[in-house]
């Protein structure tokens, strides 16, 4: 008979039982067991699926493929954050000595990653006004070392809608890959891959997860590029935990319902604010950006928002506001902020799923 110590350790194992749960279980394990050394060796020879959760896990695999299916892309992979997914996607294409061309109005975190961290790797980055297609093409002519173009389907925070087909068309003429961040739009609104993008990235922390309780990223695209990105995620330890992957998949189940309600609220908010303030809203998505008049005390406005939360992120089911000047674009120089239009009066609102009139009433009270 085994000792108490042994029994307490060697208990509660699945022992090959066939279980069919209604939803996918959480494979909260750091590694997977093998019945023999031969079976373990078979994994390395391509006959097995799972060895160690840093390299692969059923939950993270399911998340990557779920988003790939929604984006109509062949393959996807999960990462520990949106920034990790962007880095993995970038390094799947470029290496030391290569160049990257990016829209000058990308998210502040992406801007800093490209401007500072890639430079440390010997990768050169150029920024351009992507509203000007001639400027894009001229950059590709001037810098034939460019291997990757990066932009966003809807930019942060001024919500410029990228001409994805046009951008991809230009890039393809010069043999350059395109990565599109589709976080703001989500595949509910647009699927960049079918419009020519080679890679599509999401900060799944935002709309895919949708409830503000997970930090995750997903990258989808052509199989060969995803395989290269997967190597970077594994080698840099940028893998997502099984539980957070499971939470994100659970959030995706209500993505369509949430995006419908949040977009409807955003449209109503934009129409309401346009009567009083300068507003940016492209007619799609759930983000509204506006600018308070110069004479308005921004701190007083934020403190008057009542139940509307002040947070440095977006996309939860609750309506929230953020202050790009000191959060998402904080590390940009004054000149860089001015170039993309971020001022001390800029406010970014993320529409939630509350009652529309309740949101409008609260905003009216704050403005008054």
- CA 303 from chain center: how many Å? 29
* Residue 266 pLDDT: 98
* Residue 312 pLDDT: 93
Label the pairing between strands 287-291 and 199-203. unpaired
Q: What's the number of CA atoms in the CB half-sphere (13 Å) around residue 61?
A: 13
* Residue 15 pLDDT: 58
- Name the least confident of 10-14, 109-113, 131-135, 237-241: 10-14
Question: The domain containing residue 341 runs over which residues?
Answer: 256-367
On whether both 262 and 123 belong to a single domain, the answer is no
Length of the chain: 368
| Domains identified in the chain, total number | 2
Model pTM above 0.85: yes
CATH of the domain at 135: 3.40.640.10
Find the mean pLDDT for residues 163-176. Answer: 98
Choose the final residue of a domain: 203, 235, 252: 252
Choose the final residue of a domain: 218, 252, 286: 252
Percent of the chain at pLDDT exceeding 70:
98
How do residues 310-329 score in pLDDT, each as one tens digit?
A: 999 999 999 999 999 888 88
Structure tokens at 315: 């996309």
On whether both 248 and 278 belong to a single domain, the answer is no
Structure tokens at 138: 């001229």
What is the Cα–Cα distance from 300 to 298, expressed in whole angstroms? 5
* Residue 2 pLDDT: 84
On whether both 103 and 216 belong to a single domain, the answer is yes
How do residues 329-350 score in pLDDT, each as one tens digit?
A: 887 888 888 888 899 999 999 9
- Name the least confident of 94-108, 285-299, 318-332: 318-332
Question: 99 has which bridge partners?
Answer: 124, 146
On whether both 215 and 192 belong to a single domain, the answer is yes
On whether both 49 and 187 belong to a single domain, the answer is yes
First-to-last C-alpha distance (Å) of the chain:
77
Question: Strand (E) positions, the chain?
Answer: 75-79, 99-103, 124-128, 146-152, 177-181, 199-203, 217-221, 278-280, 287-291, 309-310, 320-322, 346-350
Find the mean pLDDT for residues 244-253. Answer: 97
What is the Cα–Cα distance from 324 to 331, expressed in whole angstroms? 10
Choose the final residue of a domain: 231, 252, 273: 252
How do residues 33-51 score in pLDDT, each as one tens digit?
A: 999 999 999 999 988 889 9
On whether both 112 and 239 belong to a single domain, the answer is yes
Classify residue 121 as left (phi > 0), alpha (psi -120 to 50) or beta.
Answer: alpha
């Amino acid at each position: 008979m085994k000792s108490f110590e042994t029994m307490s350790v060697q208990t509660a194992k699945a022992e090959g039982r066939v279980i069919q749960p209604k939803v996918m279980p959480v494979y909260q394990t750091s590694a997977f067991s093998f019945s023999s050394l031969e079976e373990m060796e078979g994994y390395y020879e391509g006959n097995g699926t799972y060895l160690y959760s840093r390299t692969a896990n059923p939950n993270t695999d399911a998340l990557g493929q779920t988003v790939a299916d929604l984006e109509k892309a062949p393959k996807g992979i999960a990462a520990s954050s949106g920034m990790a997914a962007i880095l993995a996607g970038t390094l799947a294409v470029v290496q030391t000595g290569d160049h990257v061309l990016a829209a000058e109005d990308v998210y502040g975190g992406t801007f800093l990653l490209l401007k500072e961290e890639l430079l440390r790797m010997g990768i050169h980055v150029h920024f351009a006004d992507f509203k000007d297609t001639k400027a894009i093409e001229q950059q590709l002519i001037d810098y034939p070392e460019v291997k990757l173009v990066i932009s966003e389907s809807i930019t942060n925070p001024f919500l410029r809608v990228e001409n994805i087909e046009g951008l991809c068309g230009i890039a393809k003429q010069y043999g350059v890959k395109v990565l599109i961040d589709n976080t703001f739009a989500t595949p509910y609104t647009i699927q960049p891959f079918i419009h020519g993008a080679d890679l599509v990235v999401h900060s799944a922390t935002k709309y895919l997860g949708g409830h503000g309780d997970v930090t995750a990223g997903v990258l989808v695209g052509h199989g060969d590029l995803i395989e290269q990105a997967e190597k970077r995620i594994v080698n840099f330890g940028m893998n997502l935990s099984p539980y957070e992957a499971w939470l994100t998949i659970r959030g995706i189940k209500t993505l369509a319902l949430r995006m419908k309600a949040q977009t409807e609220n955003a449209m109503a908010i934009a129409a309401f604010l346009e009567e009083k303030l300068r507003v940016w809203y492209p007619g799609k998505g759930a983000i509204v950006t506006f600018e308070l008049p110069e004479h308005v005390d921004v701190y007083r406005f934020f403190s008057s928002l009542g139940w509307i939360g002040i947070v440095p992120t977006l996309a939860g089911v609750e309506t929230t506001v953020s202050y790009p000047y000191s959060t998402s674009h904080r590390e940009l120089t004054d000149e860089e902020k001015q170039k993309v239009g971020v001022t001390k009066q800029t406010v970014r609102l993320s529409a939630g799923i509350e009652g529309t009139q309740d949101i409008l009433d609260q905003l009216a009270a704050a403005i008054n």
